[in-house]
Every structure is written in C-alpha cells, then in structure tokens.
Amino acid sequence: MPQEYQNYVNGKWVGAKSGKTFENHNPANWNEVVGVFPYSDKADVDEAVKTARAAFDSWRLTPAPKRGDIMRKAGDILAARKEEIAKLMTREMGKVLLETRGDVQEGIDTAYYAATEGRRLFGNTVPSELPNKFNMSIRVPIGVAGIITPWNFPLAIPTWKIFPALVCGNTIVFKPAPDTPATGHLFVEILLEAGVPPGVINLVHGDVEAGSAMVEHPDIDLISFTGSSEVGKKISTLGSKTLKRVSLEMGGKNALIVMDDANLDLALEGVLWGVFGTTGQRCTATSRLIVHEKVYDKFLSMVLDKTAKLRLGDGLQEKVDVGPCINKAQQSKAEEYVHIGVKEGATVIAGGKRANGNGLSKGWFFEPTILANVTPAMRVAQEEIFGPVLSLIKVKSLEEAINIANNTKYGLSSSLYTQDLNAAFQAIRDIKAGITYINAPTIGAEAHMPFGGVKETGNGHREGGWTVYDFFSEWKTVYVDYSGKLQRAQIDNA
C-alpha cells in the first residue's frame, strides 16, 4: 500500500478538512504510487495562516543568530540523509540520482549559508545632518510568508525560499508542487527535527485551489513563487489586490552561443548538460544553441554523436543519463512543439518522439531531440518548451548571436563559449539576462549568488545569495535625537 501523508498545521499532522486526497506517481513507472496526499482547499489554508500568524511574535523575537543555528542543524540533517532524500526525489520527479544528489547538496549549501546570515542581517548607520542625533536602519521581519514551489527542484528551491524567510523572522505556509509533495513533506519533517517551533512552519498539500487561497489570503504578507510565467502573472494580479510583496521566478528561453574560436570539446559537454540535464525541465535549460557558421557543421556532428549515445531510463539506475518527463502533459507538450517546429520549417535531426522501447513504456519518456534549420522567429525559438528539445540556429557574428539571444520575452540565463576576452566582456555587457556564463553551460547556479532574470522571467527580485534577504525582510529607519531640543530636519539645517 502506498504511504499516506498529511498536512502539518498548528503543530499537528492532519488530513484535509474535506477529506479529499490525491495520488503522487513515479514518472518513470506510472503504475507506482509514491504516496497519497491531502487535497487541501481554502479551509486548510485559513487554518495554516491563522497558526502562522499566532506564531509570528514569538518567532520574530527569537534572536536571528538562534534562528540561523536551526538552519545549520537542518543542513546537518540534510547531509546525513542525502541519499535517502535523493532516491525519494528521483522516484517522484524522475531526474537521475546524480542530479537529485546535487539537488540535496544545494539545499545543504543553502542551509549553511543561511546559518551565517543569521549573524549578518546588516543594517546601516549614517551621519545625521543635525547635531546630537543618530541615524540607522535595521531589518525587521515582515510576517507570514506563502511559499509556492515547483516540481523540478523539489528540495533546492524550497530551501532557497524557506531558509532565508525563517532566518529573517517570518513564519511560513508552504505548498509544494502536487507532482513532488513527498520531498516537500520530508523537508518539513527535517525542519521540525532541527528545531523550528510548531506553528512557525505549516505545510499544506494541494494544487490550484490551495495556491489561489494562499495568494488571495489577506493575512499572508508576502508570496514567493517559482513556476511558469502564465501562473506567475495571475499571482501578480491576485497579490496586488491586497498589496502583497510578491517574488516571481518564472520561465526562460536560454541561449548558448558557440563562437568559431571556442573550445569545442568543452562546449560540447556544456551543451549536453545544459540541454538534457533534468530532461530539459529547468528554467535555466539550454533551449537554443546558437553556433557560428565557421564551426557549425563540425560542432553539429559532435553534438549529434554524443546525443545518440545518451541512455534513457529510470533515474534510480546509475548508468542512465536522461530520465522521464514529469508527467504525460509535459511529454505531450514536448511532442507538440516538435510538430510545431516541423510545420514552421525546422528539421528533426535527432529524436523527436516518445520513447517506448527497452522498458520505457510505463513512463513519460521523450527522446533527446534536436531541431535544425530553426530561425529566430519560430515558436520553437521563442516559447519555453520545458523538455529535452534543442533548437539550432546558425549565425555569422557575435553581434548577430547576441541579438538573437536577446530576441525573446524571457531573460534568465545565457552562455557564451569563446577564447576571446573582448568578446566575453561584450557578451556580459550586452546580453539581456539575469545570468551569463562564460565557457560554462546555462545551468549551474551556486547557492551564495543572486539568481533571477529580466523581462518575463521575473518581477525584479532575486533568490539565492545575500539579495534574497532583502525580499524577506523590511527596512526600518530609526532616528535617535539626544540633543534635548526639537530639531527640524531640512528647516534647521537650511
């Protein structure tokens, strides 16, 4: 029998008030039910928010270094249980063990970074323009944070959001993606084991109904969301009705540029990792490969040769390179975009269809796919596919490559392979993206660096590094006048 999971609200493990549940399946073998979860609605969210609000005062008054110590303990537990978590994650969302271990390691890194930030929530002191007066600014918690996370990084992304939110003194209502609820559930168990008090963290499983209730709830003060641009826009609209602080991390259509002077062997490794890592199901995945005409044929031959050798299968098997799509809908989406590309004039030169042989028929596998003869205006060069599909574009110059890279509504990640220092810095300056890699693929964010994009990739906030702490805290300005008399800024200083 599959394991039955519950919500965590008000310090107790409970089912949904409605009694409704949903099943979570293994995308490599859809017959396997990973677990059964509460299908929560507005009533469950209301209870979780009420609990988080009640716990806020005691948590915000806990010294930030003490809050950081709990994050460190959570990191220790994650490290001790790394393999267990990685295997559960692979069963839930399909990516290979090498990657799920990396997902857990990112959570560990984020935990230890957050622990140090508990002692580094710096404010500023500045001179006053008046005598015998002291000016400073400090960070204060905001309140109840609603955390809505995606399925492709079911541990790392929740840690990106929840660790900083807790260190800053906020309480949490957390809704993991319905495709990966077990990993989110285990993460909450680890937070409790590490010492997060009951009520400070609340877990509500579910889908759109629970998510909408969180965004619209008047007593949730901020929302941090990672997911599609379409859903993010709806969250922005709903959140604005109650003037919530909203952080949106959304889609990408990332380009990797290979110039004629590039180290092609190095670029090849980066392309394969960027395109087919996580089965292409990353917001930072390499979706467009822009290659200089002088090396186009040679490099294409290298890419095709290596792509043909990639092994599809259950990510729990160590020799597998590429796992399944997360579900049938995502598999169908990849297939649909291949048809769209062909209809627009692209040519399928690798893959292009569902993979059903060699024991793959029970899962949502799609062949690693490459489309050639793609032009920049085609939908396959403009729209996020979120699958193992690469669009190839030939260019004559760096300037043309950069213009094409910028010619989408997204601006998350970008990459340039070159040995020309001048070209590298030109790309850093001119590519319109939140992240630019030089001689590295479009994927590979590090926990202590800002993460996010421009245009329709996000709404200006950043996750990761020191910048995320600005989102989860409020600046408070403090003036201390010890002159013993009324001093009027601007008037008495004229």
How far apart, in whole angstroms, are the C-alpha atoms of residue 62 and residue 167? Answer: 10
* Pair of tokens at residue 127: 């001179």
Who contacts 400 (Cβ-Cβ below 8 Å, separation ≥6)? none
- Enter the DSSP assignment of 279: G
Helices (H), 148-295: 156-167, 181-194, 208-216, 229-240, 264-276
Which of 184, 171, 208 lies closest to 6, judged by CA? Answer: 184
Q: Which H helix or E strand runs over 136?
A: strand 133-141
Q: What are phi and psi of 158, to 5 degrees?
A: -55, -35
Q: What are phi and psi of 192, to 5 degrees?
A: -65, -40
The 10 Å Cβ neighbour count of residue 120 is 13
Which of 236, 216, 217 lies closest to 225, judged by CA? Answer: 236
How far apart, in whole angstroms, are the C-alpha atoms of residue 374 and residue 371? Answer: 7
* Pair of tokens at residue 118: 């508990």
Question: Quick one: 240 exposed, middle or buried, by C-beta within 10 A (0-12, 13-18, 19+)?
Answer: exposed
Question: CB–CB of 284/445 below 8 Å?
Answer: yes
Q: What are phi and psi of 86, to 5 degrees?
A: -60, -40
Cα-Cα-Cα-Cα dihedral sign, residues 107, 227, 269, 314: positive
**Residues labelled catalytic:** 249, 283
Q: What are phi and psi of 7, to 5 degrees?
A: -75, 160
Question: Quick one: 63 exposed, middle or buried, by C-beta within 10 A (0-12, 13-18, 19+)?
Answer: exposed
* Pair of tokens at residue 274: 């960027």
How far apart, in whole angstroms, are the C-alpha atoms of residue 170 and residue 188? Answer: 16
How far apart, in whole angstroms, are the C-alpha atoms of residue 336 and residue 389? Answer: 11
- Enter the DSSP assignment of 358: T
- Enter the DSSP assignment of 39: -
How far apart, in whole angstroms, are the C-alpha atoms of residue 377 and residue 400? Answer: 14
